[in-house]
A and B are shown apart, each in its own frame.
Chain A
Amino acid sequence: MELLLVLGLPLAGTFVLALIGARRYAAEVNAGVSFVTLVAASALVVRIIRNGPLLVWHDQFFVDPFNVFLVALTAFVGFTTAIFSRPYMRIEERHGRVNARRLRLYHSMYQLFMFAMLLALLTNNMGLLWVAMEAATLSTVLLVSLYRTKASLEAAWKYFILCGVGIALALFGTILLYFAAERTLGQQGMTALLWTHLNSVKGELEPRVLGLAFVFLLVGYGTKVGLAPLHNWLPDAHAEGPAPVSAVLSGLLLNVALYAVIRCKALAVGSIGPAMPSHMLMTFGLLSAVLGAFFLWRQRDIKRLFAYSSIEHMGIITFAFGLGGPVANFAALLHMTVHSLTKSSIFFTAGHASQTAGTQQMDGIRGLVGISPAIGWGLMLGSLAILGMPPFGVFTSEFLILTTAMREHPWTTPVLLIALGVAFAGIFMKVQPMAFGESDAPRLPHSPALVPAFVHLAMVLVLGLYIPPALAHWYRAAARLIG
């Protein structure tokens, strides 16, 4: 029942908003639908915690602690972003960057995007997972090109072509998976692609085929995670879309793509042993972390800066999943949560910062604390949080990842530390003048609506100081499942 609501509400929202999206109250409807989805997702969480994993509708949908945690996170960030986008998009409309027709497209596609992500998370069918990932790409292509500027069209084109090719490779991987499954499960039709069925026979799947399938799936879904060297679409798409879209792309879509990779990894490990998949994840992860950190330095656009930071952090999370084991998985899940919350909060404030300054170029953004304390401090605190300063939650997860890496693969620790250090210096140097620099711009008459940004930061702070036992228990259960 909850499952039906979680999936049905955003889908219904898509159609409703496609009809009424141009009206004045569409933004409120958008936030309302997201809120009800969040309530349904919370009910689902309660049910999973009480009754354990859930398999419904001819085993087509599967909910366990791992994906229900991501469902809750997705619904929550989806809701806060909808709240944030209400005043933000109104200002954009006043600036003449969007008109009512594009707002209708925006609201409708926003809900479709949420639906596609939730479907990708909840489905038990690896083929349906692929279809949902592709649908998520298609809906966000339209969101990225919302402003119809030359740069945004180019970004959307690049996003579509690169992710289209990536996801085509993932489809080939899925076909190979089906091929291996059919040999073992021996039946035609729907059941051979169900993750739970595959998981129960993973030891018998043909290792050679599964190895090849995993490579294709990792490269395919890895393109969507933004793993280097397949990350080229990510900075453009993040920089050129509206700020709420950057927030959900970075905070949610990357997580969902990584979720797909981890599900595939679990199958591959069962068939070909842990060595090959782990090493591949660790290599891709380290490469992304280092490349992301070094590319940060060369950025002039505020949203591109944080897009590269997302590449760095997704690299760290992928690396942690590659390490495996309960501690590293726990840390990776925690990092997924805090990165998602912090990064979306940063994109909220960065959006307002560039809106007030009238430019996304960092040279043009100065003295935010003087112009509007909420924006300035929000950006500064968000940056400190994402850089892993204690007492924020990012510090906890990075600390856990580093100590596990030190124990399991000592040689990776210096590489990780260099990436973290370089990213720290790069972001801090660029954010500091934006927040505290000299500016002759007048103080804003009233501060912008940044409540969601501060709510996110407060949650990250709480996660850094104290993880509630229920949450910790839940993370541990999910970490055990991933193996």
Chain B
Amino acid sequence: MLSLHLSQLDVQLLKLLAAAMLLLSFAMLSARRTQQLITLFAWQGAVLFLSTVLVAHEAGLPELYFSAALTLILKVITLPLILHLLIRRLGAQWDNEQLVNIPVTMLAGLVLVIFAFGLAQPISLLATTVTRHIIGIALAVILLSFLMMITRRKAVTQVIGFLAMENGLFFAATSATYGMPMVIELGIALDLLVAVFILGIFFFQIREQFDSLDLHHLESLREE
């Protein structure tokens, strides 16, 4: 229906942005420095913003502009800023992270992408939106962020993984259904903001108690 209005060029552009999104996810997966990760997260938000604007423009849906503005304010400006301030106050911006093993993580990421495309296949066939091929990429972004949360041992990086996952979810919402209803998006954004504030408080408490943000220390509660 709406897809008829979309020019070939815009579809190409959207696909380009989707590819950038996926690429950024892989970059985050292999980034070592916390500060680098925050920058990549901000870029991911920017790509999400651009693609939402593009869809809003082409599909002629004014609500989507609000959604895009929300993304711009929250994910490109506010959250990266808060995270930057936090790690500066914590003195953690140059922290290096001992990763599990970058090549192995990358390979695992590739497998996840293939899995995501397989899973999204039946859905994209049903979708009427122009962006339907992007659903697979959105799912892949979600799974890659999940992988990042599993492989990282630092509190800040796990939170960035969590936020990147939320990016993937918004991307999925725009590409599959032209965005969720406005009230829901506002609610989700509010929850996200509160979550980051709480986690910010948490970082300080964790450091006060353990003298470090390394989650290795958080492993005493286990089944004996």
Real binding pair = yes
A interface, CB within 8 angstroms of B: 125, 127-128, 130-131, 134-135, 138, 141-142, 145, 148-151, 153-158, 160-161, 164-165, 168, 171-172, 174-176, 178-179, 182-183, 188-190, 192-193, 206, 208-209, 212, 236, 240, 295, 298, 300
Q: List 23 A-B contacts (CB under 8 A).
A: A127-B187, A134-B195, A141-B198, A148-B209, A151-B221, A153-B206, A153-B218, A154-B218, A154-B219, A157-B215, A158-B221, A160-B202, A161-B149, A164-B162, A164-B195, A178-B177, A179-B123, A190-B183, A193-B184, A208-B123, A209-B122, A212-B123, A300-B224
> Does the CB pair A138–B177 fall under 8 Å?
no
Residues of B within 8 Å of A295, CB to CB, are 223
Residues of A within 8 Å of B165, CB to CB, are 165, 168
> Does the CB pair A188–B169 fall under 8 Å?
no
- A336 to B45: give the CA distance in the assembly, Å: 42
Is B158 among interface residues, defined by CB-CB distance under 8 A?
Answer: yes
> Which among A130, A155, A172, A189 has the greatest number of chain B C-beta atoms within 10 A?
A172
Chain B 165-177 interface mask (CB, 8 Å, partner A; 1/0): 1100100110011
Residues of B within 8 Å of A168, CB to CB, are 142, 162, 165-166, 169
Task: Return the chain B residue nearest A208 by Cβ.
Answer: B122
Known: A175-B172, A175-B176. A148 touches B149 (CB 8 A): no
- A442 to B55: give the CA distance in the assembly, Å: 73
Task: Return the chain A residue nearest B139 by Cβ.
Answer: A172
Is B41 among interface residues, defined by CB-CB distance under 8 A?
Answer: no
Is B49 among interface residues, defined by CB-CB distance under 8 A?
Answer: no
> Does the CB pair A171–B195 fall under 8 Å?
no
Would you list which residues of chain B between 117 and 144 have a CB under 8 Å from chain A? 119, 122-123, 126-128, 139, 142
> Does the CB pair B187–A128 fall under 8 Å?
yes
Interface of B is mostly: helix
Known: A135-B191, A168-B166, A298-B223. A127 touches B209 (CB 8 A): no
> Does the CB pair B184–A125 fall under 8 Å?
yes
Would you list which residues of chain B between 178 and 215 have a CB under 8 Å from chain A? 178, 180-181, 183-184, 187-188, 190-191, 194-195, 198-199, 202, 205-206, 209-210, 215
Task: Return the chain A residue nearest B135 by Cβ.
Answer: A179
Residues of B within 8 Å of A175, CB to CB, are 169, 172-173, 176-177, 180
> Does the CB pair A208–B166 fall under 8 Å?
no
Residues of B within 8 Å of A150, CB to CB, are 209-210, 217, 220
- A90 to B217: give the CA distance in the assembly, Å: 32
- A298 to B224: give the CA distance in the assembly, Å: 7
Is B111 among interface residues, defined by CB-CB distance under 8 A?
Answer: no
- A183 to B119: give the CA distance in the assembly, Å: 19
Total count of chain B residues near the partner, CB < 8 A = 48
> Does the CB pair A151–B183 fall under 8 Å?
no
Residues of B within 8 Å of A172, CB to CB, are 139, 142, 169, 172
> Does the CB pair A142–B198 fall under 8 Å?
yes
Known: A172-B142, A176-B123. A131 touches B221 (CB 8 A): no
- A134 to B119: give the CA distance in the assembly, Å: 26
Residues of B within 8 Å of A298, CB to CB, are 223-224
Residues of A within 8 Å of B190, CB to CB, are 131
Task: Return the chain B residue nearest A300 by Cβ.
Answer: B224
Apart from the given pairs A164-B195, A236-B221, 18 other A-B contacts in the complex at a CB distance below 8 Å: A131-B190, A138-B191, A149-B209, A150-B209, A154-B221, A157-B206, A158-B221, A165-B149, A172-B169, A178-B180, A179-B176, A179-B177, A193-B180, A208-B122, A208-B126, A209-B122, A209-B123, A295-B223
Tell me the smallest distance from the CB of B38 to a CB of chain A, in Å. 18
Is B155 among interface residues, defined by CB-CB distance under 8 A?
Answer: yes
Residues of B within 8 Å of A212, CB to CB, are 119, 122-123
Of all A-B residue pairs in the complex, the 7 with the closest CB atoms, nearest first, are A127-B184, A131-B187, A154-B218, A134-B191, A179-B176, A190-B181, A236-B221
> Does the CB pair A130–B184 fall under 8 Å?
yes
* Total number of residue pairs linking A and B with CB closer than 8 Å: 128
- A183 to B223: give the CA distance in the assembly, Å: 47
Tell me the smallest distance from the CB of B150 to a CB of chain A, in Å. 9
Q: Which of A131, A183, A190 contacts B191 (CB 8 A)?
A: A131
> Does the CB pair A157–B155 fall under 8 Å?
yes
Residues of A within 8 Å of B128, CB to CB, are 183
> Which among B123, B149, B194 has the greatest number of chain A C-beta atoms within 10 A?
B123
Known: A138-B191, A168-B166. A153 touches B202 (CB 8 A): yes
Tell me the smallest distance from the CB of B204 to a CB of chain A, in Å. 11
Is B65 among interface residues, defined by CB-CB distance under 8 A?
Answer: no
Tell me the smallest distance from the CB of B22 to a CB of chain A, in Å. 17
> Does the CB pair B184–A128 fall under 8 Å?
yes
Q: Which of A128, A182, A188 contacts B183 (CB 8 A)?
A: A128
Is B146 among interface residues, defined by CB-CB distance under 8 A?
Answer: yes
- A141 to B199: give the CA distance in the assembly, Å: 10
Chain B 28-69 interface mask (CB, 8 Å, partner A; 1/0): 000000000000000000000000000000000101000000
Task: Return the chain B residue nearest A239 by Cβ.
Answer: B221
> Does the CB pair B181–A151 fall under 8 Å?
no
Residues of B within 8 Å of A148, CB to CB, are 205, 209
Task: Return the chain A residue nearest B223 by Cβ.
Answer: A298
Residues of A within 8 Å of B191, CB to CB, are 131, 134-135, 138
> Does the CB pair B162–A161 fall under 8 Å?
yes
- A208 to B119: give the CA distance in the assembly, Å: 11
Q: Which of A125, A130, A138, A189 contacts B198 (CB 8 A)?
A: A138
> Does the CB pair A179–B127 fall under 8 Å?
yes
Known: A131-B184, A151-B220, A172-B142. A145 touches B126 (CB 8 A): no
Residues of A within 8 Å of B178, CB to CB, are 188
Tell me the smallest distance from the CB of A400 to a CB of chain B, in Å. 32
Tell me the smallest distance from the CB of A401 to a CB of chain B, in Å. 28
- A175 to B123: give the CA distance in the assembly, Å: 12
> Does the CB pair A158–B187 fall under 8 Å?
no
- A46 to B121: give the CA distance in the assembly, Å: 49
> Does the CB pair B218–A157 fall under 8 Å?
yes
> Does the CB pair B205–A153 fall under 8 Å?
yes
Tell me the smallest distance from the CB of B41 to a CB of chain A, in Å. 16
